[in-house]
Every structure is written in structure tokens, then in C-alpha cells.
Amino acid sequence: MAVEETSGNGIGGAVERLGRATVRGVEEWGYAFALLLETLYWVLAGHFHRQPVRPAAVAARMMTIGVQAVPILAVLTFSIGVMLAIQGIHTLKVFGAESQVVVGIALSVTREFGPMITGVLVAGRSGSALTAEIGTKQISQEIDALRVMGINPLRYLVAPALLAMLVMVPALTILADLMGLLGGAVYTALAMDLSIHAYLDRTAAILQWDDVRQGLVKSVVFAIIITLVAVTNGFAVEGGAEGVGRATTRAVVLSIAYIVVADMLFTFFLTR
């Protein structure tokens, strides 16, 4: 009766399970991609269907995803800047090249830590919340209710979240860059004979637009990853409150994993 039943144990069974897992994986990626296209379609063509994406809904999402994340992100990235300065000075002392710490912090913060910390934080804070929200709406039939009312759930729920992510993750990344650099500047000024002003001047001289751009490109990719992972897991919820919990955990773990892997790939291709 059950179609999912495997034919047996041993090598045959293992191969079959691997095959099924692969098919499921491809299915999930395909689903996420289709979801992205359809959501973008609603953003662009919603007006023609008399179902526009409401600016008020986007603004509300931007508040929770972006503005409310500012304090915690500032603390995190400032600490990262301080941490990089401590490690940098400690390591470079061996070569007597402590003053080069400015270069290290400037590049690693804008290219790596700014976007990465922002991505991980937003995935944990807002990605999980989005999964929980959509999952709860799914099990309480609110998604069904939207559909029978003729309100497309992608347009109504997903599009505002995607737009808000696309704006706020890069914006938060810029903040993260600034706070990280400031953290590095403050520690370096205290530890070495270099004023904060001089530190920031040197940073400005070292940094090129390309470095910042690399971070921002990554942050846009992270925004898409976080939204898609959150939404696909939210819509896939079944099995009551426990299911929502499971989906939320899965969404956070998966999006952080995708963010780190995507970050590595981008670093590889963009650092040439």
C-alpha cells in the first residue's frame, strides 16, 4: 500500500534511500526556486491582477527584520571588530607588523564578517519567526482561508517579507561593517599608539568600493536564502505545534548552513 516503502535492507536498500533523498532534495530546491519566481512575479505583476503588494506590509516587515535588529547587531559586530583587533595585533606582533592590523580588519569585516554575522543573525531572528508564522497559519488553516478568499498567500505573506529582506539585509550589513570597523578602531586605539581618527583615515584609504560591494552582493544572496528556506519550511509544516517547532529549527539550521557554504563559494569566485 505505502508507496514510500523501501524494497529492503543492505546495499540495495541504501542505494534506494540515497536515491529517494536525492529526489527529495532536488524537489525541495526546485520548489524553492519556483516559489521565488512566483513571488517576484507577484511583486511585478500584482497590480494587473488587482492584487498589489502592499507597501504598508513591506514597511511592517522592514521594522521587525531590520530596525528592531539594530541594537543586537551593533553589539555583535562591535565585539567582532574588537575580537579581530585583539587577534590581529597578537598575531602580527610576531612579525613586528602590528600596524598592519588595520588592513586585516578593514578587509575581513567588509568582505566576510559584516555580511556573514548579519546573515546568521537575521536567519536566527527573522527567518525562524517567518517559518513559525507561516507554519502556524498553515496548521490553523489561515493559509487555506487566504486562498479561498482569493488572496494569494505568496503575494500577501511572502512578497512583503522577501522585499523587506532584500532591503534590510544589505542595510544591516552596512551597519555591521561600520560597527565592526569601529570596534577594531576603539581597541586598536587603546592598545597601540594610534588615534581612532587616524585609524579610520587609514581604513578609508585602504578600503575600495569593491570590498564593500563584495559584502553587499553576498548579503543580497543571504536575504534570498533566508526567505526561501524560511518560507518553504513554513509551508511544509504538518503535525500541529510540534511540527512548527521542528520546521523552525530546521529552517534556522539549514539557512545558516546555506549561508556559510554560499559565503565560501562567493568568496572563492569574487576574490580574484
Partner 1 sequence: MNPAAASPHPPVVIEVTDLVAHYGAHRVLDGIHMRLYRGEIMVVMGGSGSGKSTLLRHLLGLNRPTAGRIVLLGTDMARAGAREMQDLRKNMGVSFQGGALFNSMTVAENVMLPLREHTSLDERTMAIMARMKLEVVNMGGFDHLMPSQLSGGMVKRVALARAIVMDPKLLFFDEPSAGLDPVVSAELDELILRLRKVMNMSIVVVTHELDSAFKIADRIMVLDEGRVLQTGTVEEIRHSDNERIQDLLERRPRTLEMDADEYLARLTGKG
**Strand, coil or helix: 187:** helix
User: Is residue 37 at the binding interface for partner 1, with CB under 8 A as the rule?
Assistant: no
DSSP 123-142: IIIIIHHHHHHHHHHHHTTH
**Residue 178 CA: distances (Å) to CA of 105, 114, 172, 192:** 11, 9, 10, 20
Does the protein bind partner 1 through residue 140 (CB under 8 A)?
yes
Q: Which is nearer to partner 1, 28 or 142 (CB)?
A: 142
Residue from 71, 148, 269, 272 in contact with partner 1 (CB under 8 A): 148
Cα dihedral 65, 70, 73, 75 in deg (nearest 10): -160
- Candidates 51, 64, 79, 267; binder of partner 1 (CB under 8 A) is 51
Q: How many residues bind partner 1 (CB under 8 A)?
A: 20
Report the residue from 38, 124, 142, 174 that binds partner 1 according to the rule CB under 8 A: 142
Contact 23, 29 (CB under 8 A): no
Least distance to partner 1, CB of residue 93, Å: 54
Question: Judged by CB under 8 A, does residue 144 bind partner 1?
Answer: yes
Binding of partner 1 at residue 272 (CB under 8 A)?
A: no
Q: Is 150 in the site for partner 1 (CB under 8 A)?
A: yes
Please state, in angstroms and rounded to a whole number, the distance separating the CA atoms of residues 169 and 166. 6
Instruction: Name the residue nearer to partner 1 (CB basis): 11 or 149.
Output: 149
Min dist. Cβ of residue 136 to partner 1 (A): 8
Question: Residue 201 interacts with partner 1 (CB under 8 A)?
Answer: no
C-alpha to C-alpha distances, 113 to 104, 127, 261, 262, nearest whole angstrom: 12, 19, 14, 14
User: Does 38 help bind partner 1 (rule: CB under 8 A)?
Assistant: no
